Structure 1
Amino acid sequence: MTKSKTCPICRKPRSEEFAPFCSARCRDRDLASWFNEGYAIPGPPANPEDAVRDED
């Protein structure tokens, strides 16, 4: 039996239109999590001094 892929937010079946999500709502919830720093990509801690130098 093949397992259908599900939405990573609500676990309902995916929609081709909003893949990998099931709806615009779930897609927007995921985007909001990125904006609110709910997700993070692993890596070494950022050095605040580097950010200041880049702004100059």
Structure 2
Amino acid sequence: MNRSCPICRKPRVEEFTPFCSARCRDRDLARWFNDDYAVPGPPADPEEIARED
């Protein structure tokens, strides 16, 4: 099965899998940094997190 880059849909390149290039890899990382992606689950309580540290 030939899967494509999740950002631009071009063919994947082994060096950057699952992306086709460093540019698409970096665009994906920027989306995580900008909170464009989220992991499902209940909201975290910042006070509870602080107590765990």
Q: Partner of 2:34 in structure 1? A: 36
Normalised by the length of structure 2, the TM-score is: 0.85
Tell me the amino acid that sits aligned with residue 3 of structure 2: K
Larger radius of gyration: 1
Ranges of 4+ aligned residues in structure 1 off by more than 6 Å: none
The code of the aligned residue for 1:47 comes to D
Percent identity (aligned): 70
User: Structure 1 or 2: larger helix share?
Assistant: 2
Secondary structure of 1:6's counterpart equals: coil
Match of 1:48 among 37, 46, 51: 46
Matched residue pairs, number? Answer: 53
- What SS is found at the alignment partner of 1:17? helix
TM-score (norm. length: structure 1): 0.81
Residue in 2 that maps onto 1:25: 23
